Amino acid sequence: MRFALVLLPILALAACNGGNNAGGSGNSSAPVQASAPVAGVAAPAGKQWADVVEKTKDNGFRQGNPNAPIKLVEYGSRMCPFCAQFGTTGVAPLREKYIATGKVSYEYRDFLIHGAPDLALALLNQCVPTDAFFPTLDQIYAGQEEFEKKIMGLQQTNPQVLDQIQQMPPPQAAAGFAQALGMVDFMKQRGLPEAQAKACLADQKQIETIAKVNADGANVYGVNSTPTFFINGQKADVNDWAGLEPLLQKAGAR
């Protein structure tokens, strides 16, 4: 089955609304079920759980114990500042305190709030080896502000370029933004050859896979903002680490 990918135009950064998850179809927000503390599980010999990464049946990327009793899923957008805030302030304690114990696994799924730039970064992020997915995601969030500055610069100095790119079909628009915003160079500096990066940006099969993740997020799970978190399948009405950690503890990660 083919999935059309409809990309929003570049909007102000308010396009991601900081976890306003009400509305939409699929799962609705409800209190996370209280649970007794769950037991920790040792990582495989010679590894830490943060090093265990695999692609899931839902085409997300999961880090940690695949059989963890507490399963955290994030629908995220690499150009969303709320996602970047969680990525730069919440993910480290999540890994150190909860993933490392084997109690919690963390799965990241794409939700393209910011259109073609998000698609470009999703394709480039998934172009690296699976075990490099999360380190690359961390670096993308750390560098988000620079991409934003380049967008603002183009809006001020060469808005016709933005208009031209946004009129292109999604794959060409993603490739155009990847070049215009320095994303290809960003990935080259992290070991991804330019030719490989360009091939990944043009990978129609991967574009369709990301489109399905996006569509399922909206139509099956009721996602309409980023970041949106699920704990054991239940949508959590929080958008930052301060709100999320107590819910993980309530679910038994303590």
Give pLDDT tens digits along the chain (254 positions): 444 454 444 433 334 765 444 333 344 456 788 889 999 999 999 999 999 999 999 999 999 999 999 999 999 999 999 999 999 999 999 999 999 999 999 999 999 999 899 999 999 999 999 999 999 999 999 999 999 999 999 889 988 988 899 889 888 999 999 999 999 999 999 999 999 999 999 999 999 999 999 999 999 999 999 999 999 999 999 999 999 999 999 999 98
d(CA 144, CA 148): 6
> Residue ranges per domain, the chain?
54-250
Residue type, 134: F
- In terms of CATH architecture, what is 54-250? 3-Layer(aba) Sandwich (3.40)
Asked if residue 43 lies in contact with residue 102, where contact means CB atoms within 8 angstroms, the answer is: yes
Backbone angles phi, psi at 63, to 5 degrees: -115, 135
Residue whose entry in the numeric block shows the structure tokens 């309409």: 224
